[in-house]
C-alpha cells in the first residue's frame, strides 16, 4: 500500500504510539493515547483511531501541543520518561504528558496555587497513577520530597520574570546529564518593552552560560502571543 508521505516531524512523532496526528474535518490535530478510557479533562474530544482511544490535544490550550504544531523537531517525552513539570496548573498539559509517558513513566507536577492544585488532584492525579502532585513553589526545589532519582525531562511553564533561573535551579538538582529542558518563555512576564524575540534570545544566552546546549527555539504564535519555547540539552 502506498502511504501518504509525511513530513519528518510527523514520522518522528508517530514512532511513539502514544502521540498521533489525526485528521478531523480536513484539519490535522495532535492527539494522545488516553490512559483513562472514556474520561476527558478539559472538554477535549475523544476519538477512536486504529482501535484505540485518543484525546485531541488542543494547541490553543497547551503550549506543548502548540510547539508540536509549530515544528518541534523531536519530542523528548516518551513512554517511560520521568518528567519534572513546573507550573502544572489544573493539569491540561500534564494530562497529555501522562498519556505519553504511560504507566512505566512518571510526571512530578509542581504547582503552588492551592485552588488550581485542587483541580489538578481531583481531575488528573487521582485518576492517573503516574502523576504525582507537588504543592510547592518551584523556587524551592530542595523541598520536593516526592522526587526520586534523576529526571529525563524538565518542562517549565511558570510565567515568572525569573523563570529561567528557577528552571536552571531545578535542572541542576534533578535533571540527568544529557537530559532535556523545555522552557516556555512568556516574554511579557520578563520585559514588556523589549522585542519578544530578543527576550527569548536573552534567556537562551543565560541557558548557554549555565551549561545547556540550545537545540531549537520555537515561536508559539499564533497559538500563544509573545511566547517562545526553548528546547535545550543539559550538558553538565
| Binding stretches for ligand SAM (CB under 6 A) | 62-63, 86-87, 89, 92-93, 110-113, 116, 137-139, 157-160
Please, what is the minimum distance in Å from the beta carbon of residue 154 to ligand SAM? 12
Q: Based on the number of CB atoms within 10 Å of its own CB, is 159 exposed (0-12), middle (13-18) or buried (19 or more)?
A: middle
Please, what is the minimum distance in Å from the beta carbon of residue 9 to ligand SAM? 20
If the CB atoms of residues 52 and 112 are measured against ligand SAM, the closer one turns out to be 112
If the CB atoms of residues 63 and 82 are measured against ligand SAM, the closer one turns out to be 63
Chain position whose Cβ is nearest to ligand SAM: 87
If the CB atoms of residues 13 and 158 are measured against ligand SAM, the closer one turns out to be 158
If the CB atoms of residues 93 and 98 are measured against ligand SAM, the closer one turns out to be 93
If the CB atoms of residues 52 and 119 are measured against ligand SAM, the closer one turns out to be 119
Please, what is the minimum distance in Å from the beta carbon of residue 1 to ligand SAM? 37
Beta strands 52-57 and 131-134, pairing class: unpaired
If the CB atoms of residues 46 and 113 are measured against ligand SAM, the closer one turns out to be 113
Please, what is the minimum distance in Å from the beta carbon of residue 193 to ligand SAM? 21
Please, what is the minimum distance in Å from the beta carbon of residue 202 to ligand SAM? 20
Distances 6 to 9, 50, 69 between C-alpha atoms, Å: 8, 18, 14
Please, what is the minimum distance in Å from the beta carbon of residue 104 to ligand SAM? 23
Listed residue (56, 57, 64, 98) closest to 81, CA to CA? 98
Count of beta carbons in the 10 Å neighbourhood of residue 133: 22
Amino acid at each position: 500500500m502506498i502511504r501518504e508521505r509525511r513530513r519528518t516531524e510527523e514520522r518522528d512523532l508517530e514512532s511513539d504510539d502514544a502521540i498521533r496526528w489525526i485528521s478531523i474535518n480536513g484539519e490535522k490535530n495532535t492527539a494522545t493515547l488516553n490512559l483513562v478510557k472514556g474520561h476527558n479533562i478539559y472538554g477535549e474530544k475523544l476519538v477512536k483511531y486504529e482501535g484505540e482511544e485518543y484525546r485531541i490535544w488542543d494547541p490553543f490550550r497547551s503550549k506543548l501541543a502548540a510547539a508540536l504544531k509549530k515544528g518541534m523537531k523531536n519530542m523528548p517525552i516518551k513512554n517511560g520518561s520521568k518528567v519534572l513539570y513546573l507550573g502544572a496548573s489544573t493539569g491540561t498539559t500534564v494530562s497529555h504528558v501522562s498519556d505519553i509517558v504511560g504507566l512505566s513513566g512518571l510526571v512530578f507536577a509542581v504547582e503552588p496555587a492551592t485552588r488550581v492544585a485542587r483541580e489538578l488532584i481531583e481531575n488528573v492525579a487521582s485518576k492517573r497513577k503516574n502523576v504525582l502532585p507537588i504543592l510547592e513553589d518551584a523556587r524551592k526545589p530542595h523541598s520536593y520530597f516526592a522526587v526520586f532519582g534523576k529526571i529525563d525531562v524538565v518542562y517549565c511553564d511558570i510565567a515568572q520574570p525569573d523563570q529561567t533561573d528557577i528552571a536552571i535551579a531545578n535542572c541542576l538538582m534533578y535533571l540527568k546529564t544529557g537530559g532535556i529542558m523545555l522552557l516556555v518563555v512568556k516574554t511579557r512576564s520578563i520585559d514588556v518593552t523589549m522585542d519578544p524575540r530578543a527576550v527569548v534570545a536573552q534567556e537562551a544566552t543565560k541557558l548557554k552560560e549555565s551549561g545547556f546546549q540550545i537545540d531549537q527555539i520555537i515561536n508559539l504564535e499564533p497559538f500563544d502571543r509573545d511566547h517562545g519555547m526553548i528546547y535545550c540539552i543539559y550538558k553538565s
